[in-house]
Amino acid sequence: MNIQEIQTKILNRYEKEGRKFPRRETTDPYKIHLCEVMSQQTQLSRVLVYRTKWLKRFPNYEAVANASQKEILTYRSGLWFNRRGLNFRNCAKAVCTQYHGKLPLEREKLLQLPGIWAYTSAAICAFADNQEIPVIDTNIRRVLIFLFSFPETLSLQQLEKEAKSLIPSWRSRDRHNALMDYGALILTPQKTKIKSLSKQSKFENSDRQVRGRIIKTLVKKEKLSLTEIKEEFPLKDIDKIVKKLKKEGIILEQGKTISLL
C-alpha cells in the first residue's frame, strides 16, 4: 500500500471504531492541555476520574492560578508527579498574566510557558486548533516505524520531520487520534516487537515513592517529622530527597520537621 492507502485505511477504522475519550470531544485548549499533562505516564482510566474532579474545582487557568500550592497538590495527589502539578500552576499564572487567561495556539509561544515542551505544544496545536503539526507519542512512533520500516534508532526529531510528509495536512486532529488508536489496539508492542524509547523506573523503594509519601502526608497535616519518614524508609537518603524538594520550592524545613510552602 502507498501512503494514501495507509492513511485512508487507518482513518476509516477510526471513524467506525474510534475510542471515545473526553479529550476527543472538546477543542478547548485548557482541557486538552490538562489531559495531556495528566496522561503522561499515567493510565487513562485513572486520568478520567481525576479529570472530572479537577475540572469541577478548576474550570480554567484563572482558577488554577489563584489556588494555593497545597490545594493543587491535594487535587493531584495520587496522579501526576508533584512537580508536574506545580508546573501546571506556574503555567496557568503565566497564561493569565501574559495572555489574559487564554492559552496561545502558536507553538513558539507555547514553548515559552512553564512545563510545556515539544510534545505537549504539538498536541495542543493539533487537537485544539487542528494545525498541521506532527504529534509523536509512543503509539504513533511505533506505527510509523513499523509501516514505513524506519530504524528504531531514529530520534523523535528526525521522526517528526519524516512524519510531516506522512501525516496528511487535512483533518490533523482526526488523523492523529486514528494513528494513536491504531498503535494502541492494532500495531501493539507485542505484535511489532518495537520497544519504547524509555521505560519508567520501578516505583517501589524509589525516590519517587518517598516524595509521594511526603507530599501525601503533608496534604493531610501541617507538619511531618523527618524521623518518621526516615524510619519508614531506612534505606533511602531522606536528607537528599528533602533537599531537592526544598530546592523545587515545594516544602519548608524547620528543625526536624517539614511542611508545605
Model confidence over 131-176: pLDDT tens digits? 999 999 999 999 999 999 999 999 988 999 888 877 766 789 999 9
CB 216 within 8 A of CB 81: no
Percentages helix, strand, coil for the chain, rounded to the nearest 5? 60, 5, 35
So where are the chain's domains? 3-192, 207-260
Report the CATH fold assignment for 3-192: Endonuclease III; domain 1 (1.10.340)
Q: How confident is the model at residue 77 (pLDDT cuts 50, 70, 90)?
A: low
Is residue 140 within 8 Å of 151, Cβ to Cβ? Answer: no
Mean pLDDT of the chain: 90
- Does the structure show a pLDDT above 90 at 11? yes
From residue 79, how far is each of 29, 127, 160, 208 by CA, in Å? Answer: 21, 23, 29, 12
Longest distance between any two alpha carbons in the chain, whole Å: 68
In Å, what is the CA distance from 111 to each residue of 91, 139, 156, 196? 11, 23, 17, 24
DSSP letter for each residue of 14-36: HHHH----GGGG---HHHHHHHH
Note whether 152 and 145 are within 8 A (CB): yes
Of 37, 25, 4, 3, the C-alpha closest to 177 is 25
Instruction: Give the model's confidence band at 33: pLDDT under 50 very low, under 70 low, under 90 confident, else very high.
Output: very high
| pLDDT tier for residue 67 given thresholds of 50, 70 and 90 | very high
Looking at residue 26, its amino acid is T
